[in-house]
Structure 1
Amino acid sequence: MRRCWRWPSSATNTPTSARLINASGPTKPPRSWPTACSSRKPFCVRIFSGSSNPPLALAICEAIGIDLGRCTVTAFPDGETFVKIEENVRGEDVFVVQSSSPPTNHHLMEMFIMMDALRRASASRITAVLPFYGYARQDRKDQPRVPITAKLVANLLVAAGANRILTMDLHAQQIQGFFDIPVDHLYAAPVMYDYLKKLQLGDLVVVSPDVGGLKMAHAYSQVLEAGLAIVAKRRKSAAEIESMTVIGEIRGKTILMVDDLTETAGTLTAAAALLRRKGAKRVLACVSHAILNDLGVERLRKSNIDELITTDTVLRPVIDGVKITTLSVAGLLGEAIKRINSNSSVTSLFEFKGGRTS
């Protein structure tokens, strides 16, 4: 076997690959877990992390005052993934944190294997926590002989052992209907809103960079007491835009573009350039999941976007030459986990200071 990493682990015993994953810094030695949660504990849950975003999983555990579960993830020489849960989970309420960010297939397969291990170890309930749900853009048949991969991923999650799904800002909300198990769909908007209010933006107009994001933009505009506009676009292909038009008054205004996802940043940067040409004095972008491949980073460096505000649902390296503000959703996810564990309502997590995100 090779590329073995254990999480969490002491610094002296952590292999190189594990130290790279734990790039945010050393962790405290894990407190000892009892073999079974005591009935005197008001809150009892186990959280495990895959390799896609361990810092977020650690932050969630820190927010709710527990330790990250111990597991070993190993790759055989041919690349096959092997997972071992390093503590007793029999009868426990278990949450597996794993964003299906690039490399998407690897991270999904790792999650399936981890949930299978937990199911075979007799965990009483397994909740798949996907801060970012990959394959969400493939949610329907929009041309002949194509798959509905978002539904396939839903089927695979359930087959692997998931009893519940916790996710955030799905690209297509109808994906919730692909599951026959409970789905708790959270929004990053409350976290974004708190930050935006501190900026005290004047003459603000919230802009949706496409028609599909109009509902999200409308929610932001209501809570921020701002104007609303939209950039209507026509595509040549999935990666190329043919034409764009601004609908709404944006001249002399501060613009806040909102979207759920960006990878190549093509829509955002093209919309920002158009808004500047139409007289916008400042352009900010608020995106829940900023995956950002090399092309996206290069476009942002050359763009008219003054600040990109995003979250830590996806683990990214430090990017030079772009002003990126990363807000943590660990507290929001942690609170949802506590409420799910205690069978309490999560409805209030959709509400924030005068508005709703849904």
Structure 2
Amino acid sequence: MKLLSGNSNQSLSQAIGDYLDVPLTKAQVKRFADMEVFATIDENVRGEDVFVIQSTSYPANDNLMELLICIDALQRASARRITAVMPYFGYARQDRKTGGRTPISAKLVANLITRAGADRVLTMDLHAGQIQGFFDIPTDNLVAIPVLARDIKNNYEDSHELMIVSPDVGGVVRARALADRLNADLAIVDKRRPRAGESEVMNIIGDVSGRRCILFDDIVDSAGTLCNAAAAMIERGAASVSAYVSHGVLSGPAVERVKKSVLSELVITDSIEQPEQVLACGKVRTVTVAPLIGEAIRRIANEESVSKLFD
């Protein structure tokens, strides 16, 4: 087994390597003067089971091209099996036609990864589970719920006061899975989007009065939805509101919004490597998913069950 890291999240790649006690494969993934991506593998990978670790986060197109070119290089170097390990799968929110003459970009990216030469994909908390069906190769979609639930148990002593809140109707199944694991109640935020990137809270389904609320979602991008939902719950008598999110995209004014919001804290995983601005924010905390992904890689390499990680 060999681990190859792109440039998108080298700290997570190193942590996964440390968990598996496997050094990262020596390679160079760099840019030409005109910013074209170039990759060369500096070790023999013929007949090897290679895992390419690369999140397609910002800059999404550059990181996606790095992944595709690394896969192509490995295929031409006669690797036995190539697994694209994508802790964060970019373009996942474009998983259906939202209007006339619009693309399904998640399917396009799946096709690109497959045609580049990947034999299987390992990712975490896809925005929509059906994206697994976009791939014509085996795809494992890990969930961060066990990691986040453990962190909640360590930081919230009295679980009877807890209420897990889905920030929209689409995330109810995800939020219910966390609530069941914590034996907590569930509430739902009814929102609408007047336009892309903006949200407006219409109603909260469930009594949040006096409860310690935890908003749970898969992606926080501009943080508008979370901050608006948190403010609405405080107005309705919630004792406190925090947020647990699998992927901290945190683009544009997101960090400033979180700082100024009523959120007690925002907890994200390290599926996306964060800039110094995010790390310096006192309200943002990161938990690692390196053991989760590392164990999944070990099980795939040993032909063992990955689904048992969800228990």
TM-score bin, normalised by smaller chain: over 0.9
1:73 CA displacement: 1.5
Q: Which residue of 2 aligns with 1:166?
A: 122
1:181 CA displacement: 0.6
Partners of 1:341 and 1:109 in 2: CA distance: 25
Q: Which residue of 2 aligns with 1:266?
A: 224
Q: Which residue of 2 aligns with 1:187?
A: 143
Number of residue pairs matched by the alignment: 307
Tell me the TM-score normalized by structure 1.
0.84
Amino acid corresponding to residue 106 of structure 1 in structure 2: D
Q: Which residue of 1 aligns with 2:191?
A: 233
**2:189 touches 2:201 (CA, 8 Å); kept in 1?**
no
Amino acid corresponding to residue 94 of structure 1 in structure 2: V
1:194 CA displacement: 1.0
Partners of 1:86 and 1:66 in 2: CA distance: 16
Q: Which digits, 9 at most, give the CA deviation of each residue in 1:76-110, with x for residues without a partner? A: 11111110000000000000000000000000001
1:225 CA displacement: 1.1
Within the alignment, does 1:300 sit opposite 2:271 as a pair?
no
Partners of 1:236 and 1:243 in 2: CA distance: 11
Q: Which residue of 2 aligns with 1:113?
A: 69
3-state SS, counterpart of residue 130 of structure 2: helix
Q: Which residue of 2 aligns with 1:350?
A: 310
**1:244 touches 1:271 (CA, 8 Å); kept in 2?**
no
**2:217 touches 2:246 (CA, 8 Å); kept in 1?**
yes
Residue 248 to residue 264, structure 1, CA distance change in 2 (3 Å):
same
Within the alignment, does 1:178 sit opposite 2:138 as a pair?
no
Tell me the TM-score normalized by structure 2.
0.97
Partners of 1:329 and 1:226 in 2: CA distance: 23
3-state SS, counterpart of residue 193 of structure 2: strand
Q: Which residue of 1 aligns with 2:300?
A: 340
Q: Which residue of 1 aligns with 2:289?
A: 329
3-state SS, counterpart of residue 337 of structure 1: helix
Within the alignment, does 1:147 sit opposite 2:93 as a pair?
no
**1:138 touches 1:150 (CA, 8 Å); kept in 2?**
yes
Q: 1:65 aligns with which of 18, 21, 27?
A: 21
Q: Which digits, 9 at most, give the CA deviation of each residue in 1:298-342, with x for residues without a partner? A: 110110110111100000023334422211111111111111011
Structure number with larger C-alpha Rg: 1
Stretch deviating more after TM superposition (236-245 or 142-151): 236-245
3-state SS, counterpart of residue 195 of structure 1: helix
Partners of 1:309 and 1:212 in 2: CA distance: 20
Written as runs of structure 1 = structure 2, the 5 A alignment for 1:1-358 is 45-199=1-155, 200-202=157-159, 203-318=161-276, 319=278, 320-351=280-311
1:193 CA displacement: 1.1
Partners of 2:249 and 2:218 in 1: CA distance: 11
Name structure 2 gaps, 5 residues minimum. none
Residue 198 to residue 242, structure 1, CA distance change in 2 (3 Å):
closer
Amino acid corresponding to residue 181 of structure 1 in structure 2: I
3-state SS, counterpart of residue 293 of structure 1: coil
CA RMSD, aligned part only? Answer: 0.9
1:294 CA displacement: 3.1
Partners of 2:119 and 2:175 in 1: CA distance: 32
Partners of 1:151 and 1:317 in 2: CA distance: 29
Stretch deviating more after TM superposition (134-143 or 232-241): 232-241
Q: Which digits, 9 at most, give the CA deviation of each residue in 1:104-139, with x for residues without a partner? A: 000000110011000000000000000000000100
Partners of 1:147 and 1:230 in 2: CA distance: 30
3-state SS, counterpart of residue 115 of structure 1: helix
Name structure 1 gaps, 5 residues minimum. 1-44, 352-358
1:347 CA displacement: 1.4
3-state SS, counterpart of residue 272 of structure 2: coil
Identity %: 51
